[in-house]
Chains A and B, each alone.
Chain A
Amino acid sequence: MGILTVTLNPALDRLIEIDNFKVGTMHRIFDEDKTKVSPGGKGINVSLYLEQLGVPSTALAILGGLTGRMLQVRLRRECNQTISTSFLYVNDETRENFTIVDRKSNTITTVNLPGPFVDEKHFKLFMKKYKALLSNTTICEIGGTIPAGMPLDVYKDMVRMAKEAGALTVVNAHGEPLKYAIESVPDIVKPDIRGTKKVLNRELKTIGDYVQSAKELLSMGVKMVIYSFEMKNDIVATSDWTYLFKMRGEIKSVNLMGTGDAYIAGLIYAINAGKDYFESARYAMAAAIADEMTESKDVGGIEEVEKMMSLIEMERVSQ
């Protein structure tokens, strides 16, 4: 029995460092260290971080074309210690996400390509694979965008199926897919509010808005709600408590990409180890901080994460 991460729309992440990046000009890269290629997509990232924490998982994903093949080879070659893979292959190309980091001007530019089209036949086959893998799953992590062709309410069915299989469900999504996932009442929800700070038609501006939104989700039956608040803080709520998790002091932040996925991995690590939700939220934030301090997707192992826990302080939020 184990952990299953699901990535419907994975990506091959390409990070390029260019000093003084300028739109409309040609930039040549001579130093190989200035470019990095890594498998990506929320679920795959969570599996990668879990591996760093010594926790085995199975990554289920839809791949396509040569990019998909490259992602597969990278994932298998570089991360074959504890990650099992199960792929469904489609005709179109897996997407690529380009990130241009300019350390001189302190800017990040991202270009995300579209993912493949998944037709009805492949969608049904994917759901069959998903169901088969659920038979051996204790924690199921679902998150990220949905590729063209797949129904927007697919997360509703996926959460329901995971719960029927007896798995704890963790959802990390945004917009319509999140809305549908909530209809099946996942155990843990971390709304992705990058871009639009709105969940179930509620605008999130003040801390009170976040708390009210969390209470709304909890009243539906969700056991734990996590909101990223003002970049570096988290509002975490269960039916028994609501806390603001804050970072004590300042850290040298070199990377904010993938920290949300590191958070989920830290959370799953702790829950899988039998920690309660409060302690798990501390592990989760510590994993995100550890990741933020490294340039690549790396939390540096469980010892490093546990060191970061001393940087977190918790403040009870009145209900």
Chain B
Amino acid sequence: MKVEDFMERDVTAVFADETVEEFIHACVRQFRSGLPVVDDEMRVLGIITERDIIHEIVPSYMEMLHSTSFIPDTNITKKRLEEIKDKPIAEYMQKELDVLKTSDTLLSAATLVLKHGYRFLPVIDEEEHLAGIVTRSVILEALLS
């Protein structure tokens, strides 16, 4: 089975000059954890995920703490988000990432997603335009069939 046989044929994407705030709203409205980032001709530039934003706004020392219960409020995180919300997502997106082709196999897609822990990956056609996306659940569903 090829990627084009089971991918989600959704080319909904964001542009690199859209703001972090717009990206967050887009994710909430679409029930998505991330979106492909495209140029003016629908060529994939990368992806941006909630995780990229959270990583940017949560202080790095938090990751080393076993508990954050003693931290009185979320002011630091909120302030940081306030600082970056109007910045373009180009500053926070993942540019170096694997991209699937419509002609790739289900096995190669599953391997790639499992190996790197991607929640989704963009799929490109022969002309390198965004053709759809593959999520973990789409791969699992394809494996079921």
Contact = CB atoms under 8 A, between A and B. Distances in A.
Interface of A: 58, 64, 69, 76, 80, 82-91, 125, 128, 131-133, 135-136
Given A136-B127, A136-B129, A86 B10 contact: yes
Contact of A135 (B25, B26, B31, B40): B40
B26 A85 contact: no
Contact of B29 (A76, A80, A89, A131): A89
B139 to A, nearest CB: 15
B30 to A, nearest CB: 6
A87 B38 CA distance: 14
Contacts of B41: 132, 135-136
A87 B42 contact: no
Interface in B88-145: 127, 129, 131-132
Given A132-B41, A132-B42, A87 B9 contact: no
Contacts of A89: 25-26, 29-30
Q: At the interface, is chain A mostly helix, strand, loop or mixed?
A: mixed
B40 A76 contact: no
A82 B41 CA distance: 21
Given A87-B10, A89-B25, A136-B42, 17 more contacts: A69-B31, A76-B8, A80-B8, A84-B10, A86-B12, A87-B12, A89-B26, A90-B29, A91-B29, A125-B18, A125-B22, A128-B40, A131-B40, A132-B38, A136-B41, A136-B127, A136-B129
A319 B42 CA distance: 45
14 contacts: A69-B31, A80-B8, A80-B9, A84-B11, A85-B9, A85-B11, A85-B12, A86-B11, A86-B13, A87-B10, A89-B26, A89-B30, A90-B29, A136-B127
A89 B25 CA distance: 9
Interface in B1-17: 8-13, 15
Nearest to B17: A128
Interface of B: 8-13, 15, 18, 22, 25-26, 29-31, 38-42, 127, 129, 131-132
Contact of A133 (B8, B9, B31, B42): B42
B10 A135 contact: no
A125 B29 CA distance: 15
Contacts of B127: 136
Contacts of B129: 135-136
A85 B130 CA distance: 11
A59 to B, nearest CB: 10
Contacts of A90: 29
B8 A58 contact: no
Nearest to B30: A89
A-B pairs with the 9 shortest C-beta distances?
A89-B29, A135-B41, A84-B9, A86-B11, A87-B12, A85-B10, A132-B42, A86-B12, A136-B129
Given A133-B42, A135-B40, A135-B41, A128 B15 contact: yes
A301 to B, nearest CB: 20
A58 B12 CA distance: 11
